[in-house]
Structure 1
Amino acid sequence: MKKRHIIIIGGVLIFAFVVGIVGSLPTPVITKSNNLRIYDRSNNLIYEEVYGVKSKYIELEKLPSYVPASFIAIEDKNFYSHKGFDFKRIIKSFFINLTSFKIKEGASPISQQYARNTMLSNERTLLRKIKEAYYTFKIESKYSKQEILEGYLNSLYFGHGITGIEGASNFYFNKSAEHLTLSEATVLAAVCNAPAVYSPSINPKNTKVRQNKVLRKMYDLDFISEKQYYDAVLDSNEYYLEKDNPDNFYYYRDAVIQELVSLNLYENKAKLKGLKVITNINIDLNSKINEIIGKHKPTDEDIQVSVVVMEPFSNKVLSLNGGFDYNLSSFNRALSSKRSVASTIKPLLYYLALINNFNPTTKLTSEKTNFYIKDFGSYSPSNPS
């Protein structure tokens, strides 16, 4: 009898806990316009992001039908028939993973992945799972399958700092997703599963194996004809592979976002909706500086560099570089490094000396001297021993 009471009380407490969490969560909103756009001093668009990552939004109606079909085939073949949770697939995946003693197959439908991609952090906790289930249910209740699919394709991560099918298409193939071929579409469907494993710039053999799996599933589901299947399998894609973070511009981008955060504009999505930021960056100058830096990159990875170019009198920041390679280290040494300025201070000291009538023949007495500096205290330099 006591056990029964304990079970009932425990169940009530768990139910109350879940209700409390769910009750505090906001209703998910699918939006396509909360883009942050950064422009250079000439009003040229140089960066765009959605959901805090590099991205360009594209409407589902602009895509060839085989583009969304390729993702449905490999990620969630029952997308149009379930209500956000594919319980048959969950049970099947559980037994496959159990018998193989490792995670061989995922069980997250598209709606669930979409909720995870856009509304949750990467933490793996029970609380996160509860939130994920709630958001999935709400998304399915509030939006059509087409709206969910559109948001999903624009929220997927494709590696190399790229999120969204449009950005990925431009990165890998130098074209809009509107113009993807069947073969190219299935490559992107393959990559998004695990970009670090399937990106053609990392392991093209893995890409091809995964792509063929996507094509086979599309054929088995009658999404494509036999001819389309074999043509796509035999198609050798030409990859564009845009350079990651060209000219180390992202150091400047990070400084801009840091300023937006300080103004409470970055986290507040209501204010971020359609936010256009015009900066003072001179792209040509920034590229030239990074070209010079690249030519003098040392073999010792511990040696680093930082550059800030400002316009006299206006104090506009024309160029900013925080390191040799943003891909290897995004730490912005131009803004966040606490190292001494060392000899960089000498021109400023010489300037002060010159305006106070010092010249190269001016003599100074070599004796112990105490300097008193406001808000610092006393300072007494000493000769090296």
Structure 2
Amino acid sequence: MRRSGWENLHQHRRLDGIFHLRPFRRRSSDPEKMEHRRNLVTGAPMGIIKKHRWLVFPVVTVAVMILGGGIIITILGRGLPRLTTLESIEPPVVSKIVSRDGVVLDELHSYEKRIWVPIERMPQHLIQAVIATEDRRFFDHWGLDIRRIVKAAMVDIAAGYKKQGAGTITGQLARDIFLTKSKKWSRKIQEAITAVQIERTYSKTEILEMYLNQMFYGHRAYGIQSAAQRYFGKNVDHVTVEEAAFLIGVLQLPAMYSPYRHPEQAVRRRNVVLYSMMVCGHLTQAEYDSLRNLPLDVIETPNAPGAIAPYFCDFVRQEMEKKYGIGIYTDGLTIRTSLDSRIQAFADSVVRKHMPGLERQIWNRLIRNRSFLDWMDPRPDSEEEIHAFLTNQDRVDSLFRKNATVQVAMVAIEPATGHILALIGGRDFTQSSFNRAVQAVRQPGSAFKPIVYTAAIDNGFAPSTELMNTNVTLFMPDGTRWTPQNYDLSVGGLTTLREGLRLSLNLVSVHLVQELIKPSLVVSYAKRFGFTTQINPYDAIALGADGVIPLELTSAFSVFANRGVRVEPLAVTRVEDKDGKLIEETAPRRREVISENTAYIMTDILSTVVSEGTGRSARSTYNFYRPAGGKTGTTNDFTDAWFQGFTPQIAAGFWVGFDNPAIRLGERMSGAVVALPMWAPFMRMVYDSLRWPLADFAQPQGVVRARVCAETKKLASESCPKIWDEIFFRELAPTDKCELHASPHTHPAQQQQRSVF
């Protein structure tokens, strides 16, 4: 029997060593078997298939579309935000640094400057404007407005191009936060999916609040509050109807509708919004006609936070960044500070008034002694070249500003709380952000002497204790010798501690650390007073030879005003989140560093500095007569000049010098000449403008006043030729009467002299 071709092939059992081939078997032609086979495939009797054959194609088509749509959604959904992300939408929000009197000093933000405002603070006409213009069926749909989509599609088909959009507020929010602004259909599908998810996660009110706070309004304004401030210089709750219409209108195309670049188009777009509000019944025809004719009154430049206390704000920013990281630029924090914007303004005013004239005076000296030649490259070779340079005032000013700007630092502190009320770290923050008030380490000179004298007073020496005002030699740490002199080159005999500090006698101060106390004791007191810089236990400590930070020096003087209690300087008092909830509140950190009695005696001595000592021009020239103590400070080479002073309510200090300590202020440029002329007017402005009540330093029970004989240091009799009214610790006050001058006939012809302190 002849085999078929298939049967012959089958004998080989394999094809190319891969496939097994079986003999071909013809299908059965039995009708019943064929029907059974069809039923296995279709799951239904053939009769039903034949009867409803017209349904097969639509059903299969729908099934394929559903399956394909599911696949597309699954693929596109991979790039969409997770539910946890949707549940915690947090757009970057501006953080604010606020003064104690409520003034916004500065704003901390990333590229997007956004100030979050709850919807309750937004006016009703703003809400009406956005709904009427952007999404009239906002409260009726679930993220997609199907009716609007169908209508837009019909309009687009009829027009032959995309003429009408069908986006919703929720869709715009989804696109702005999570997606790109691509025009592809894939992005539109992603937008729709995300919009539905947002609607499932948030209420309509929450979505509207996020939308208005999230969107970009042009000119770096993100969020409705920033936009209101940028264009109208006001908070959003104060915008009028026509202003609200502009803010909503500019959302569509911020660059196209910029009121600065395209004012006419901006007005037309605003009027479109007003018309939409009228159509929706929010405005009458008369109101619309009236508002549409109003001009668009926008401000030219927005208010500029940061113009007030830039050095202080930068100090706060750095402290907050250490604590909270980069979140301070995005979390919408309100950082409440100790600074008083009014007191800061007074400090800025006296610096602006005093420093230019002082600087010009110092520059003229540098010109006379030819110091400026060292800064010139190339250096002039002839007198003609020097003269040509000096006759060009612009070139002179440019050279001196670059190399010899006279700098200033200032700090004001509230003694009872440690609050930093004002701070200046330099002449111009835009030119130099180096904060000399908190970063510079400068020699305090005689301004450090109160710390030296405090160590003596606190260890039982009275202000009437006498030391020699004679020449003395200091052995320096490097092995060299130094023979200091008094500022006026004077010498004398026995001099009281009070006189030594009142007249800032260097020789008396040196004798103090050589005869009454040790330098190491002064170092320990300096640490108590809060100094963190290196202060060495050598005799030169008597003259303030080691550098200190201006903030710490002013804080030390505040101890005297606060009855011996040091309160750590404080800049930030409270931090709140964007909803106003408390994150952190800082309480003052207090520590008693000297007794109340010592503080009062030192205050009494320092008061004589202001009334009749090196700081007397505060009274005689600048007419500041409030109870006050203070001390001038000048380094021996006239490199640094200071004045530190205090009242019961405020301590303030000024420093003047060059960043380069090799450049001197010049002969006779003492703290009384350079720094005090800013301190006294500043203090007077504070008291006159803020009308602070009159307050004096309260004398504690542990201190008494006594009239003593200047010669015997005992209680004076009427016969003593020279009498001091002095102050003592109660337990150390003299109790015995002067016997040397007990007889009224001892000095019959001598006129009594009294010194009252």
Question: Distance in 1 between the 2:113 and 2:81 partners?
Answer: 32
AA matched with 2:251: C
Q: Match of 1:47?
A: 107
CA contact (8 A) 2:156 2:164 kept: yes
Deviation at 1:126, TM superposition (A): 6.5
Secondary structure in 2 matching 1:113? helix
Provide the alpha-carbon RMSD of the alignment: 4.8
Matched, 1:81 2:134: no
Q: 1:259 to 1:96 in 2, by over 3 A?
A: farther
Matched, 1:192 2:251: yes
Matched, 1:37 2:161: no
Q: 1:230 to 1:21 in 2, by over 3 A?
A: same
Q: Match of 2:72?
A: 14
CA contact (8 A) 1:34 1:274 kept: no
CA contact (8 A) 2:169 2:211 kept: yes
AA matched with 1:17: I
**Post-superposition CA distance 1:276-317 (Å, at most 9, x none):** 599xxx998xxx9xxxxxx9xxxxxxxxxx96542469669x
Q: Match of 2:285?
A: 226
Deviation at 1:229, TM superposition (A): 1.1
Question: Distance in 1 between the 2:304 and 2:175 partners?
Answer: 26
Deviation at 1:224, TM superposition (A): 1.5
Q: 1:142 to 1:261 in 2, by over 3 A?
A: same
Question: Distance in 2 between the 1:125 and 1:64 partners?
Answer: 36
CA contact (8 A) 1:35 1:275 kept: no
Q: TM-score, normalised by structure 1?
A: 0.60
1:310 equivalent among 421, 434, 438: 434
Q: Match of 2:84?
A: 26
Q: Match of 1:137?
A: 196
Q: Greater CA deviation, 86-95 or 24-33?
A: 24-33
Q: 1:231 to 1:29 in 2, by over 3 A?
A: farther
Deviation at 1:12, TM superposition (A): 5.8
Deviation at 1:78, TM superposition (A): 0.9
The structure with the largest alpha-carbon Rg is: 2
Secondary structure in 1 matching 2:221? coil
2:223 equivalent among 160, 164, 167: 164
Matched, 1:118 2:242: no
Deviation at 1:26, TM superposition (A): 2.9
Secondary structure in 2 matching 1:224? coil
Question: Distance in 2 between the 1:106 and 1:114 partners?
Answer: 15
Matched, 1:207 2:331: no
1:177 equivalent among 212, 236, 242: 236
Question: Distance in 2 between the 1:266 and 1:277 partners?
Answer: 18
Q: 1:92 to 1:315 in 2, by over 3 A?
A: farther
Secondary structure in 2 matching 1:149? helix
**Post-superposition CA distance 1:240-286 (Å, at most 9, x none):** 1434988999xx99xx99999999944799x94738599xxx998xx
**Post-superposition CA distance 1:16-36 (Å, at most 9, x none):** 435655685534136679644
Q: Across the two proteins, how many residue pairs are aligned to each other?
A: 294
Q: TM-score, normalised by structure 2?
A: 0.33
AA matched with 1:184: E
CA contact (8 A) 1:64 1:178 kept: yes
**Post-superposition CA distance 1:132-178 (Å, at most 9, x none):** 33432222122221221111111121101001111111111122211
AA matched with 1:88: R
Question: Distance in 2 between the 1:276 and 1:109 partners?
Answer: 36
Matched, 1:106 2:165: yes
Question: Distance in 2 between the 1:142 and 1:60 partners?
Answer: 18
Question: Distance in 1 between the 2:332 and 2:286 partners?
Answer: 45
Deviation at 1:46, TM superposition (A): 1.1
Q: Match of 1:327?
A: none
Ranges in structure 1 where 5+ consecutive residues have no aligned partner: 289-294, 296-305, 317-350, 355-385
Which structure has greater strand proportion? Answer: 2
Deviation at 1:187, TM superposition (A): 1.0
Question: Distance in 1 between the 2:183 and 2:108 partners?
Answer: 29
Q: Match of 2:208?
A: 149
Secondary structure in 2 matching 1:89? helix
Deviation at 1:41, TM superposition (A): 10
Secondary structure in 2 matching 1:46? strand
CA contact (8 A) 2:108 2:328 kept: no
Secondary structure in 2 matching 1:198? coil
1:91 equivalent among 124, 130, 150: 150
Question: Distance in 1 between the 2:317 and 2:149 partners?
Answer: 40
Question: Distance in 1 between the 2:148 and 2:71 partners?
Answer: 30
Q: 1:119 to 1:258 in 2, by over 3 A?
A: farther
Secondary structure in 2 matching 1:118? helix
Deviation at 1:38, TM superposition (A): 5.2
Question: Distance in 2 between the 1:23 and 1:38 partners?
Answer: 30
Ranges in structure 2 where 5+ consecutive residues have no aligned partner: 1-55, 338-343, 353-393, 395-429, 441-659, 663-757
Deviation at 1:220, TM superposition (A): 1.2
Question: Distance in 2 between the 1:21 and 1:143 partners?
Answer: 21
Q: Percent identity?
A: 27
AA matched with 1:74: T
Deviation at 1:104, TM superposition (A): 3.8
**Post-superposition CA distance 1:188-216 (Å, at most 9, x none):** 11111111001111111101111111111
Question: Distance in 2 between the 1:237 and 1:56 partners?
Answer: 23
Matched, 1:238 2:362: no
Question: Distance in 2 between the 1:144 and 1:156 partners?
Answer: 18
Question: Distance in 2 between the 1:124 and 1:267 partners?
Answer: 33
Deviation at 1:70, TM superposition (A): 0.7
AA matched with 1:198: Y
Q: 1:35 to 1:19 in 2, by over 3 A?
A: closer
Q: Match of 1:65?
A: 124
Q: 1:311 to 1:233 in 2, by over 3 A?
A: closer
Question: Distance in 1 between the 2:81 and 2:298 partners?
Answer: 47
Question: Distance in 2 between the 1:55 and 1:272 partners?
Answer: 10
Q: Greater CA deviation, 81-90 or 126-135?
A: 126-135
